[in-house]
Structure 1
Amino acid sequence: MTGTPKTPTSARRIPVRAGFGDYDHTRDLWAGGVTSDMLALDADVLGSPEEIFSRFLEGGEWEAAEMSFAVAAALRGRGDDSLVVLPVFPGRSFRHGAIYVRADGPVAEPGDLAGRRVGIPVWAQTAGVQVRGLLASEYGVDLRSIEWVRAGVDTPGREEPVSLPLDPYRIESAPGATLDRLLLDAEVDAVISARPPASVERRDPRVRRLFKKHTFDEMDYARRSGVFPIMHVLVMRREFHDAHPGAAHELQRMFTEAKDRSVRRALNSVVPSYPLPWAAANAARARDLIGDDFWPYGVESNRTTIDLFLDHCADQSITPRRLGVDELFLRAPEPASA
């Protein structure tokens, strides 16, 4: 799906092509609700994050795009300065629910994962980094004791998005297998994946989530830690940024305005904007847990979350050293939120 702002194109405005997900909090960017006197946004809106990432990194499309937080950190960690990372977070999710085990298997609680075989789609998947960090920091699981098995979730052949030296972790590739089949056949004891395996989607009784009441565990974690995990960031090509001073900050403003509009819609209980019962009540609960702006952009309002993720990246060899927040993100005046 492609959309462009409804305001007339002006010769003064800078054309900028961007690829990002089809979310309510980006809707006003391509539907014309958010416009700019500086930028003429040409948006490609896609449903698959993996497609966005590969088309931007491998296909060379767009001047700006939604990007995996782990990949952005990995590139910067190895000295790649070709992308400017903006503190705009189109994708966020708590991930207690991203660990899957066999219902009759040996893993009943997080500590049981130590010394086991655990399947992952790729090491540099942001959700995986977040889950592994959670297991290590909250439950004391030694990640080096685990034998990691890398395979596609439901289709064989998944590959790492970026080359990484992964010592001291033990990672085995299973290019002809799927994580779903490996779990069902007891070839692995658990699977960590942002995308649920097919057996979970069809409610196969042989497979379950490790955290049976993961939503409540996630809410408790949010309350205790002040962390709302970030999955994706917004990036801009360095050459475009350097050629158009101020374009990155203006794009951040536009994404922030679109998100703020979405937050207001989520809280509207008169006529719900989402085809979801109790949508406004759940938005109000999120506000109580996280704050008035429960999907915050900007560095300072996310520093605790970002700091913890960068700790995880260094611990898991995503980056060769612990990156500083200020060397990763482009700094701008903190956006005013609704």
Structure 2
Amino acid sequence: MARTLSVAVKSYPHTAFLTDPGFTAGGHPVAVEAADPIYRAFAPMVRELRYDASELALATFLQAREAGVAISLLPVVLSGDFHHHSLTRWPGSAELEPADLAGRKVGVRAYSQTSGLWVRGILHEEFGIDAKDVTWVTTEGPHVAEYVEPPNVERTHGKLLEVLERGEVGAAVLGPPALDGAQGPLVPIIPRWREAEEAWGVRHATVPINHMLTVRRDLLEAEPDTVAELYRAFGARIEQRTATAPDPGPRVRALRFGITDELVAGLQVAIDYALQQNVIRTPVTVAELLGDFTRHLGGSA
């Protein structure tokens, strides 16, 4: 009997197929590994290669690749969003403009969190605030054990919303799960953020990527047909979801399958931001990020 493939992904409409009775990839049954929130799966993937395939934050993949971790990126975007609205303050706290953040403390779950990557890039690009001008107060370390944080990163205790509420930081970067779960409205710091987000999207011709699909490199090399079948299954559900959404917002527009212009643009901006912020320290090209996929599946997937 074929061994079961372990796959760690969040439950989205475009990943529900993995639990369909009888679904297989390359003759392998699939077991969806529980991880809630999904970022709890990231460290086991990059430190232990625990899963055959895993959703992975883009910043974590960039760091894992730099550290030589044997995982491969597939051109499948599982989640993304604009992030101007992710930079928030607590209701009733002191009003802040983006320019006021220089010299202040800003909370983020981890310096390497992908939402933080996008927000710091926006602050630099649109407001002239460099990542090193801010003290980044974090509640967690990086998923990639080899990564060394910049000296302007501090650690604190508690959940990030609690850190923000007790005034330890003037502002915080909160990803979609935290924003969605916040009790009461947090106050975005970037003015006219909706217009600013759409303008960013037009300027860069993409929606920011948060999570993509990765696989163990040894599985890709040994069973490319299995990975290709899994890849096509994800693609079919993503294409179905994006095609049937009546008025797709950015979280749906972010979903992508295949090496498209939008994917390449999103990966390139992420690389540029990551190098600016010392999230990674070695230049890399989009073609190199997708090199394993191109070599093993480019002609068949």
Structure 1 residue 118: Cα displacement: 0.7
Q: Which residue of 2 aligns with 1:92?
A: 80
Superposition RMSD in Å: 3.1
- The equivalences for 1:30-45 within 5 A come to 30-31=19-20, 38-44=26-32
The structure-2 alpha-carbon separation of the partners of 1:18 and 1:100, relative to structure 1 and needing over 3 Å to count, comes to: same
Is the partner of 1:25 in helix, strand or coil?
A: coil
Q: Which amino acid aligns with 2:78?
A: P
Please tell me whether Structure 1 or Structure 2 has the larger radius of gyration of its CA atoms: 1
Q: Which amino acid aligns with 2:132?
A: R
Structure 1 residue 183: Cα displacement: 2.4
Q: Deviations over 1:300-322 (max 9, x none)?
A: 33111110101111122222212
Instruction: State whether structure 2 residue 137 is matched by structure 1 residue 134.
Output: no
Point out the structure with the larger helix share: 2
Q: Which amino acid aligns with 2:85?
A: G
Farther off after superposition, 303-312 or 13-22 = 13-22
Q: Which residue of 2 aligns with 1:236?
A: 215
The structure-2 alpha-carbon separation of the partners of 1:195 and 1:26, relative to structure 1 and needing over 3 Å to count, comes to: closer
Q: Percent same amino acid among aligned pairs?
A: 24
The structure-2 alpha-carbon separation of the partners of 1:33 and 1:334, relative to structure 1 and needing over 3 Å to count, comes to: farther
Q: Is the 8 A contact 1:21 1:45 kept in 2?
A: no
- Higher RCO (C-alpha under 8 Å, 6+ residues apart): 2
Q: Is the 8 A contact 1:20 1:43 kept in 2?
A: no
Q: Is the 8 A contact 2:82 2:208 kept in 1?
A: yes
Farther off after superposition, 181-190 or 102-111 = 102-111
Q: Which residue of 2 aligns with 1:181?
A: 162
Q: Is the 8 A contact 1:34 1:258 kept in 2?
A: no
Instruction: State whether structure 2 residue 202 is matched by structure 1 residue 223.
Output: yes
The structure-2 alpha-carbon separation of the partners of 1:63 and 1:179, relative to structure 1 and needing over 3 Å to count, comes to: closer
Structure 1 residue 249: Cα displacement: 2.8
Q: Is the 8 A contact 2:46 2:143 kept in 1?
A: no
Q: Which amino acid aligns with 1:251?
A: L
- Measured in 2, the distance between the counterparts of 1:27 and 1:192 equals 29
- Measured in 2, the distance between the counterparts of 1:191 and 1:124 equals 14
Q: Which amino acid aligns with 1:137?
A: E
- The equivalences for 1:188-337 within 5 A come to 188-194=169-175, 201-203=182-184, 207-211=186-190, 214-266=193-245, 280=246, 282-283=247-248, 295-301=255-261, 302-329=263-290, 330-331=293-294, 332-333=297-298
Q: Deviations over 1:110-138 (max 9, x none)?
A: 22212211111111111111111111112
Q: TM-score scaled to structure 1, two decimals?
A: 0.76
> Which of these residues, 63, 66, 69, is aligned with residue 55 of structure 2?
66
Is the partner of 2:240 in helix, strand or coil?
A: helix
Q: Is the 8 A contact 2:101 2:134 kept in 1?
A: yes
Structure 1 residue 144: Cα displacement: 1.0
Q: TM-score scaled to structure 2, two decimals?
A: 0.84
Structure 1 residue 197: Cα displacement: 5.5
Q: Which amino acid aligns with 1:307?
A: Q
- Measured in 2, the distance between the counterparts of 1:45 and 1:261 equals 24
Q: Is the 8 A contact 2:55 2:212 kept in 1?
A: yes
Q: Deviations over 1:64-122 (max 9, x none)?
A: 11111111110111233x11111111121211121111445455322221221111111
Q: Is the 8 A contact 2:219 2:227 kept in 1?
A: no
Q: Which residue of 2 aligns with 1:3?
A: none
Farther off after superposition, 294-303 or 223-232 = 294-303
Unmatched 5+ stretches in structure 1: 1-10, 152-157, 267-279
Tell me the number of residue pairs that the alignment of Structure 1 and Structure 2 aligns.
294
